[in-house]
Amino acid sequence: MHNRRNTLWFLMIALLLPGLFTGRAIFFSLALVFFSIMLLSAIWAWLAVRGLRIGRQTRSRRSQVGHNFAESFIVRNVGILPKLWLEIRDHSDLPGHRASHIVPTLNVRSNYQWRVETPCVSRGSFQLGPMTIISGDPFGLFLTPRRINATQRMIVYPAIIPLKTFHLPTNLLSGGEPQRYQTQNITTNAAGVREYVPGDSINRIHWKSTARRGKLFVKEFELDPFVDVWLFADFSLQSLYEDPALQRIGSTGHVIRNPGQTNVNGLPLSTEEYVAVIAASLANYFVDEETALGFITYTPQRNLYTPERGHRQQTRILETLAVARSLSSQSLHETLTMESQNLVRGATLILITSSLEIGWISELQLLGRRGLRPMCIFIDPTSFGMAGTSDEVRGRLNLAKIPTITVRAQDNLAAVLTERAVY
| pTM of the predicted protein model | 0.80
Burial of residue 25 (number of CB atoms within 10 Å: 0-12, 13-18, 19+): exposed
Give CA–CA dist 48/422, Å, rounded: 69
pLDDT tens digits in sequence order for the chain, 423 residues long? 567 777 888 888 888 888 888 888 888 898 899 889 999 999 999 999 999 999 999 989 999 998 999 999 999 999 888 999 999 999 999 988 999 999 999 999 999 999 999 999 889 999 999 999 999 998 889 999 999 999 999 999 999 999 999 988 754 444 444 444 555 555 545 667 888 888 787 878 888 889 988 889 888 766 554 568 999 999 999 999 987 777 777 666 777 776 666 666 788 889 999 999 999 999 999 999 888 999 999 998 999 999 998 999 999 999 999 999 998 889 999 999 999 888 888 889 999 999 999 999 999 999 998 888 999 999 999 988 887 888 999 999 999 999 999 999 889 999 999 988 887
Beta-strand relationship, 348-353 and 143-148: unpaired
Quick check: helix, strand or coil at residue 166?
coil
**Residues 6 or more apart from 6 whose CB is under 8 A from it?**
none
